[in-house]
Structures are given as C-alpha cells and as structure tokens.
Amino acid sequence: MKLALLMLLAMMSGARATSPAPRPPMKGLILAGEPILFVNGAPQFSREQLRRVSAATREGLAKWAQTDHGRHLIARFNRDDYQIFVVEDGDERALGRAPQPAIGTMVSSGDRSKLKIYRLVLNPASAEVSGATGEIARGNVFSWPPTGEIARGSTGEPRTAADRMAVAWAAEMLHIDLYSRGIVLPHHGRADFQRAWRDVATQLGFPNLEHDHE
C-alpha cells in the first residue's frame, strides 16, 4: 500500500514536470510579447521581460502601478478585449508616445465583443540622458517650472530614469484611457485630461509637472 502510494506520487510529480506551464492569456499590458502579471499591485516580470526590457521601464511601471491612478487603469485594462502592446524604441524622440489607434478601434471602444489593440512606445534611453532639471523631453509633452522655482522647493521633480519612465507610463496610459473611451486627439486641451494628469502627477510626487504640448 505504501509502495503503491509512493509510486503514484512519483508518477504525479513526473506528469507535472512534463506538462507545459499554462500560458497566461494575452490581455492587458503586453511587454516583450508576454502579458505583464501583477501580484498585489506589483508587476511580476517574466524571465524574457527581465532579459529584454530596460530596468528604467520596469521600475517606472512599478512606481506608476503603486499610484491610485495606475492601479485603477491596470485593473480596467485587465480584460480579454484589451491588448496594449508596449515596446521600447531608442529612436523615439520623446520619453513615450501612445499613437491614436485605427478608426475601427476608436469606433468599437464601447463594444466588449471587439478586441481593442493599443500601442505604447517608450524610450528609456531618453530617460537616462534627461537632465535632473529643465524639460524632460525638449519640444515634447513634459515640462516643469524653471529651475529657480524648483530650487525654491515649489515642486518635486523626477530625478532618476525610473522616475522619468514612471512619468512616461502615467502620461501615455492617460492617452490610452481616453482612446478606450472613444475620445480622439487632441487631448491636452481637455479639462478632464488635465485634471486626471494633475492627479496622477501628484500621486507620483511631481505635482507641478506639466503635460500640455500637442
């Protein structure tokens, strides 16, 4: 009896070792071709994601995911009808960009039976080289008050590449949030966009960070 039980256990463990691990469904945020899993609000990166994605992008996501705004959006997009493909591109001029999707996607925004696909481009190289003060990406969407005001302690500012990538995640996911509600560009002039931006920038610790150039 005991031997039979041991044999059974051995067979079971053998079977477990050979059966392939179930693949998580391709939904929500997809990085390096795999969905990002979140446990208690913290991203759990796969080996492939750790290997192929910069630390700044991963740490930036972890920071944004800790904010109320980030938590809310991550939960909202964690659905079978959403795929957000996140790619890193060192040639991108800004820290990040979320291009407006095809008109078909915009039109199906309220339809749960239709798959909605969005793209988020991040440039961690630009986050590495941005200075500690001044514009985060010159000529693009992020700026904050002149250095003098920062020196007087009027505002927090992103100091590390991970801080800047957290800003990029927050900013671009805000655009995708509006796309997913059927709202086409331009977004920056909208009061609801600016209110949401002010909220998340404050939650990240950068209350005076501007996001206002189209």
Q: Which alpha helices (H) appear in 24-183, and where do they start and end?
A: 47-52, 55-65, 68-77, 103-107, 124-129, 147-151, 161-180
CB of 22 to Zn ion, least distance (A): 37
CB of 136 to Zn ion, least distance (A): 12
CB of 93 to Zn ion, least distance (A): 13
CB of 40 to Zn ion, least distance (A): 29
**Which CB, 65 or 171, lies closer to Zn ion?**
171
- At 115, list the tokens: 């798959």
Q: Which range binds Zn ion by CB under 5 A, 64-72, 112-120, 133-141, 148-156?
A: 133-141
**Which CB, 45 or 136, lies closer to Zn ion?**
136
Q: Which alpha helices (H) appear in 19-160, and where do they start and end?
A: 47-52, 55-65, 68-77, 103-107, 124-129, 147-151
**Which CB, 38 or 69, lies closer to Zn ion?**
69
**Which CB, 106 or 115, lies closer to Zn ion?**
106
Residue facing Zn ion at closest CB distance:
141
Vertex 57 angle, CA 68 and 41, to 5°: 30
| CA-based nearest residue to 173, from 92, 91, 79, 65 | 65
Write the binding mask 135 to 154 for Zn ion: x where contact by CB under 5 A, - elsewhere: ------x-------------
CB of 15 to Zn ion, least distance (A): 51
Size of the site for Zn ion (CB under 5 A): 1
168 makes contact with Zn ion (CB under 5 A): no
**Which CB, 35 or 70, lies closer to Zn ion?**
70
CA distance 72 to 51: 28
| CA-based nearest residue to 81, from 101, 105, 61, 64 | 105
**Which CB, 97 or 116, lies closer to Zn ion?**
97
CB of 209 to Zn ion, least distance (A): 12
Q: Which residues ranging from 40 to 99 are in contact with Zn ion (CB under 5 A)?
A: none
Which residues lie near Zn ion (CB under 5 A)?
Answer: 141
